[in-house]
Structure 1
Amino acid sequence: MARIEDSPWAVSVAQVASRPGQSKEIDETFPAPSGIGDEIVGVDEGADVSVTGSFDSIVDGLVLTARINAPVHAECTRCLKPIKRDWTVNVTSFFPYEDASTNSNGKSKDDEVDIIAGEDESEDTYPLLGGGAWADLEALLRDTLVEELPLQPLCKPDCKGLCSQCGVDLNEHPDHHHDVTDIRFAALEGLKAKLEGKE
């Protein structure tokens, strides 16, 4: 059985766990977990994902406040050019202590956490492992990055896209156009040509 401390996503938090008011800075690079997006838009498995922030100890667990930066590959939805750029996401997540699953009045701490988390819908909860000594960031990285991937990535905000007639990149050829005759008026164009020819 694999040990949590051998996981590439494990962060030791034993020095701040169960001691409210303590803080542990984090500025590390982790491999991107699998399953973040697809060939169109996503983060390649194993790519360097940096996490900068801190674990802050409170009575019920640890709160991670961090900035996650990952290299996202995508394809512009207008001109289909490949896009590679770093994507930065701010995250706040809660890691409750394992031994604090119930309190003295029998209520689940998770119920209380849900009430508190309801104030900030973006807060996610992840378990501490190894008796509360380790925070495993694999699921957090996957969840956060999948949630924040751009749905319609653009190579630039004012991308003009491709010509609907021939596929020419309108960013490179802004004056490109086609003289199109509406087929509904083709007979009239023919009549006009005949009339003009007779004059």
Structure 2
Amino acid sequence: MNDIHPESSPWAIPVAQVAARPGQSKAIDQDFPAPDGIGDEVISVRKDADVHVDGSFDSIVDGLIFNGAVTAPITAECSRCLKPLNASHTIHVTAFFPYAPDAHDQHRGGKGKGEEVDIIAGEEESDDFYPLAGNNTFADIESLLRDNLVEALPLKPLCRPDCRGLCPQCGIDLNEEPDHHHDVPDIRWSALESLKARLEAEQGGESNG
């Protein structure tokens, strides 16, 4: 985010009107480009893909609370059968955007900079809070999108919960060939089979003698 011109960010949302006093609300229903760095070669949200945000910013004494749903297109491959997957994934997000200290003091009735200000319960312990920019006039949701989408991506995506995967011997898709199998001898019996063959050969030699 450009701190000098925060409005230049494609993830910047103007919130000056709702930040004016507690009790205000601003609805959001629009697409934003996906930030980079979401996922890996197995599963990801591609950079600049359309991510839909549907929610609202609600103003309280100490800042803005965002509640909403984030829907992103997921590109992945099944971790069992390696089939390509393309689907939309929706997550619900709640995040806190605290007011910057100076403007925060003004909202609380002009307290001096040296006075201590309260914060809402749990703010210090929560990781889901993001700074406002431009003297509390813009909420930039780039980090919010990245953090929440990265956390929501499954470690082992599946095409379906009961995916049978690939045959370890030949790689055939067992979902398409459920009766496929190989007759593989149990190597635990190979030593006994060798001993049996040797004893039979010895017995055959004695009989011929």
For residues 89-108 of structure 1, the aligned pairs below 5 Å read 89-98=91-100, 99-100=103-104, 104=111, 106-107=115-116
Q: Residues 108 and 39 from structure 1, CA distance in 2 versus in 1: closer, same or farther, beyond 3 angstroms?
A: farther
Match of 2:167 in 1: 163
Q: Does 1:178 align with 2:182?
A: yes
- Equivalent residues in 2 for 1:91-170, closer than 5 Å: 91-98=93-100, 99-100=103-104, 104=111, 106-107=115-116, 109=118, 112-113=119-120, 115-117=121-123, 124-170=128-174
User: How far does the alpha carbon of each residue in 1:76-117 deviate from its partner, in whole angstroms, 9 at most, with x for none?
Assistant: 1111111111111100011111122797583354xx34x434
Q: What is the alpha-carbon root mean square deviation over aligned residues?
A: 2.4
CA–CA distance in 2 between the matches of 1:54 and 1:128?
Answer: 15
What is the TM-score of this pair, normalised by structure 1? 0.85
Structure 1: tracts of 5 or more residues without a match: none
How many residue pairs align between the two structures? 190
Partners of 1:21 and 1:57 within 8 A in 2: yes
Q: Following superposition of structure 1 onto structure 2, how do residues 1-199 of structure 1 map, counting pairs within 5 Å?
A: 3-98=5-100, 99-100=103-104, 104=111, 106-107=115-116, 109=118, 112-113=119-120, 115-117=121-123, 124-189=128-193, 191=196
Q: How many percent identity over aligned positions?
A: 56
Structure 2 unmatched runs, 5+: 205-209
Q: Distance in 2 between matches of 1:70 and 1:160?
A: 27
Distance (Å, rounded) in 2 between the aligned partners of 1:108 and 1:163: 63
Q: Secondary structure at the match of 2:122?
A: helix
